[in-house]
């Protein structure tokens, strides 16, 4: 199994400041046939299903604000919220879909400082 490890487990950021979440995979999630990283980021608010924010490590899903961005390749990835808004308080998960079983990181809780 590919193990996904996020850091930190939680962070508190002031409104308007940058939030950065890291995700590391135990094996590469790059698909060799097209050099795409099959790494996704999700946002989950209480009582709601997760919402896809980013796929292919850096492609923003339709409708996702551009303050959310993803970067990284191979085994190391980052989700950045450039200017934290109150509505961004949530738990964020990374997930690999390059192989089976699909696996998620443990989640990072983002709060307002």
Partner 1 sequence: QVQLQESGPGLVKPSQTLSLTCNVSGASVSSTTYYWSWIRQPPGKGLEWIGYIYYTGDTYYTPSLKSRVTMSLDTSKNQFSLKLTSVTAADTATYFCVSERRTQPRRAFAFWGQGALVTVSS
User: Where do contacts with partner 1 occur on this chain (CB under 8 A)?
Assistant: 1, 36, 38, 40, 42, 48-52, 55-56, 59, 61, 93, 95, 97, 100-107
Within 13 Å of residue 38, how many CA atoms lie on the same side as its CB? Answer: 16
Nearer to partner 1, 8 or 18 (CB): 8
CA 90/CA 108 separation, integer angstroms? 8
Closest approach of Cβ 107 to partner 1, in Å?
5
CA 73/CA 47 separation, integer angstroms? 32
Closest approach of Cβ 112 to partner 1, in Å?
20
Nearer to partner 1, 89 or 104 (CB): 104
Closest approach of Cβ 106 to partner 1, in Å?
5
Closest approach of Cβ 3 to partner 1, in Å?
13
The neighbouring-strand residues paired with 53 are none
User: DSSP readout, 75-97?
Assistant: TEEEEEESS--GGG-EEEEEEE-
């Amino acid at each position: 199994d590919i193990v996904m490890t996020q850091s930190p487990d939680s962070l508190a950021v002031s409104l308007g400041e940058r939030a950065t979440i890291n995700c590391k995979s135990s094996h590469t999630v790059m698909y060799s046939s097209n050099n795409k990283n099959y790494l996704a980021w999700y946002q989950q608010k209480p009582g709601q299903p997760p919402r896809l924010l980013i796929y292919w490590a850096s492609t923003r899903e339709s409708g996702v604000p551009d303050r959310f961005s993803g970067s990284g390749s191979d085994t190391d990835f980052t989700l950045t919220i450039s200017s934290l808004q109150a509505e961004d308080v949530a738990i964020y998960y990374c997930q690999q879909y390059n192989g089976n079983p699909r696996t998620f990181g443990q989640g990072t809780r983002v709060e307002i400082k």
